[in-house]
Each structure stands twice: as structure tokens, then as C-alpha cells.
């Protein structure tokens, strides 16, 4: 029976370190500030923004929210980004994704000052991530690595199989895992014989966005299983991409949903916001 990794506990440890440093800066008269831009009223996005604001308040980080209408134009959104870029009181800028279909997500992300890009989505920061010279790391992939390492699991030399090749999780996680000296396989919707890959994983990361996609028949005995998915079932309950009750029987360690990757992702965002302050000062 697998050990359940307590993401909330690990997140609290990371947040406490940030809170201590932010408190020290406050004593010197300095404020750390995160600005979040939300377009429209996507229910999931509203919850995420609310959680980020709550975490900022908890750690003493100033939180600024910019709410824009669903039909905002590309030019209007770009003007908001430019204003935040020039605002010396704002250290980190996060544009909540996804954006409405009429907006150019790539253009918006690349308009953010790389020194304020706490999501690490800007092309310059992504390039630096690939070369190992980035100040920031994307919050979810970096959080996954912390979940594994702070649980006491060795990454170097292990075979890590990642389900999903998104720009937010799959691709950057593959790079970060390589930098941690893992052997990495990235699988996706076009992968043949998927189970053959997943059953060879020492560390299996599921980020496909399909409820209960990974069953026990896809997992090697004793594997570490990290579930990135957040899916809402017809009964309103949240579940991950991994069939938790099944896979727990075979995994050595497993993350729950909720309470696994999510809290650590927000903690890493707070870390990146603090880093952005240091980068600018």
C-alpha cells in the first residue's frame, strides 16, 4: 500500500521560508507584490485567483488583481500588461490561463517583462530553462520535483515517464527531470503501446486531464506516482488523472487530488514572486 504524499504539508514548509524572508524585507520598508490578470469569469480561474490572493495575504505579499471583461480586445489587454511592466511596485505578473479564444495567448505571455514572468512562460525564460540558466522555473513542474525530493525520494538515475506534453507541465518537467539526472520518456495521445512505457516508470507523472485515466494495470509495482490532473466528476467531486484507490495498492508513493500537487504549485508561485523582487532590486 503506497504512502500518500502530503502536498499541503510540503507546501507549508516552502511557504514558511518565503513568509520569513518577506517579513524581513517588510522590516526594511520593502514590499513584494504579485499582480494577477484575469479575463472573463471562468469558474475554475476565479477559484485559482482567489486561492493565490489568499496565499499572498498569508505570506505578507501584496496582491493586485486586474479583472477584465470576456470581450476585452487584444490591444486593451496588451496595454494592461505594459502598464504592469512599468509599475515599479509590481514584482511579479501572472496572466491567468486559458484566455478567451479571440486573444493571442503567445503574444500576451511574451509581452510580460521576463523579470516579472513568475509563471516562466515567456519565450526568453523558457529558453533559459532549457539551457539551465533560468532564474524562474514553471510552478507546477518545479513543485513536482520538490514533492518528490522533499519526500526523500532519489530522482537521479530513475526512469521518469510523463503522460502529457503541454507547454505548462509536460515539456518543462521533462527538461527539469533531465537536469535532475533522471532518464525521461514523454508520452502523449499518439504514443503506441502506452502501457509498455508506463509500466517501466520508476516515477510516473500523469498530466493528461482525463479523470481516472491511469489504472493499476499501467503502473509498475513500487513506482512513485504523481497526479497533476484536476477533473470534476458529474457528482461534483474532484479527482485526478490517476485512479487513486486502485493505483495506491501498487505505488510506493502517490499524490492525492486534491491536496497533492496543487498546494505546492501555489507555494512555488510565491517563491517565484520573491525571486522576481530580488531580481529587480
Instruction: For residue 224, give every residue at least 6 positions away whose Cβ sits within 8 Å of its Cβ, in sequence order, or none.
Output: 148, 153, 202, 203, 204, 251, 252, 253, 254
Q: Tell me the pLDDT band of 94, cut-offs 50, 70 and 90.
A: very high
Distance CA 261, CA 7 (A): 6
Cα separation, 155 vs 153, whole angstroms: 6
Q: pLDDT tens for residues 119-159?
A: 999 999 999 999 999 999 999 999 999 999 999 999 999 99
Phi, psi of 78 (to 5 degrees): -65, -35
Which ranges in the chain belong to alpha helices (H)?
Answer: 7-27, 43-59, 74-86, 105-111, 123-131, 139-149, 170-179, 194-198, 244-247, 261-280
Cβ–Cβ contacts within 10 Å for residue 149, how many? 13
Write out the DSSP string of 237-254. Answer: -EE-SB-HHHHTTT-SEE
pLDDT of residue 127: 96
Class of domain 139-262: alpha beta
- 45 pLDDT above the threshold of 90: no
Whether 257 and 206 have beta carbons less than 8 Å apart is answered as no
Indicate if the pLDDT at residue 44 is higher than 90: no
Every domain of the chain and the residues it spans? 28-113, 139-262
Contact 53, 65 (CB under 8 A): yes
Share of the chain above pLDDT 70, in %: 100
pTM of the predicted protein model: 0.95
Instruction: Compute the distance between CA of residue 100 and CA of residue 119 in angstroms, rounded to an integer.
Output: 19
pLDDT band at 96 (very low <50, low <70, confident <90, very high): very high
8 Å CB contact between 231 and 210: yes
Q: Which residues are tagged catalytic?
A: 52, 96, 119
pLDDT bin (cut points 50, 70, 90) of residue 42 is: confident
Collect all residues with Cβ–Cβ distance below 8 Å to 88 and sequence separation of at least 6: none
pLDDT band at 48 (very low <50, low <70, confident <90, very high): confident
Check whether 275 has a pLDDT greater than 90: yes
As a whole number of angstroms, the distance between CA 110 and CA 105 comes to: 9
Average pLDDT over residues 164-178: 97
Residue 236 has pLDDT above 90, yes or no: no
Residue 11 pLDDT: 97
Calculate the average pLDDT of the chain.
96
| pLDDT score of 103 | 98
- Of 3.40.50.10860, 3.40.50.300, 3.30.70.3040, 2.60.40.1180, which CATH number belongs to 28-113? 3.40.50.10860
The arithmetic mean of pLDDT across residues 14-19, rounded, is 98
Amino acid at each position: 500500500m503506497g504512502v500518500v504524499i502530503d502536498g499541503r504539508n510540503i507546501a507549508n514548509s516552502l511557504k514558511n521560508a518565503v513568509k520569513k524572508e518577506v517579513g524581513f524585507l517588510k522590516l526594511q520598508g520593502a514590499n513584494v507584490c504579485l499582480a494577477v490578470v484575469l479575463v472573463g469569469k471562468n469558474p475554475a480561474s476565479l477559484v485559482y485567483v482567489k486561492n493565490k490572493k489568499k496565499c499572498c495575504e498569508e505570506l505578507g505579499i501584496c496582491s493586485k488583481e486586474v479583472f477584465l471583461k470576456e470581450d476585452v480586445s487584444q490591444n486593451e489587454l496588451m496595454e494592461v500588461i505594459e502598464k504592469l511592466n512599468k509599475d515599479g511596485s509590481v514584482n511579479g505578473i501572472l496572466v491567468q490561463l486559458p484566455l478567451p479564444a479571440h486573444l493571442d495567448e503567445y503574444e500576451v505571455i511574451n509581452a510580460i517583462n521576463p523579470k516579472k514572468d513568475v509563471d516562466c512562460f515567456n519565450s526568453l525564460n523558457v529558453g533559459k530553462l532549457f539551457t539551465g540558466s533560468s532564474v524562474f522555473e514553471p510552478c507546477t513542474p518545479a513543485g513536482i520535483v520538490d514533492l518528490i525530493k522533499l519526500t526523500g525520494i532519489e530522482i537521479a538515475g530513475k526512469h521518469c515517464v510523463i503522460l502529457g506534453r503541454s507547454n505548462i507541465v509536460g515539456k518543462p518537467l521533462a527538461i527539469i527531470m533531465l537536469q535532475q539526472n533522471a532518464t525521461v520518456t514523454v508520452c502523449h495521445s499518439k504514443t503506441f503501446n502506452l502501457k509498455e512505457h508506463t509500466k517501466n516508470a520508476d516515477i510516473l507523472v500523469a498530466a493528461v486531464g482525463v479523470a481516472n485515466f491511469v489504472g493499476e494495470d499501467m503502473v509498475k509495482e513500487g513506482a512513485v506516482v504523481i497526479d497533476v490532473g484536476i477533473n470534476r466528476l458529474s457528482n461534483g467531486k474532484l479527482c485526478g488523472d490517476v485512479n487513486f484507490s486502485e493505483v495506491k495498492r501498487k505505488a510506493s508513493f502517490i499524490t492525492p487530488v486534491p491536496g497533492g500537487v496543487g498546494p505546492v504549485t501555489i507555494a512555488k508561485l510565491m517563491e517565484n514572486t520573491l525571486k522576481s523582487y530580488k531580481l529587480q532590486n
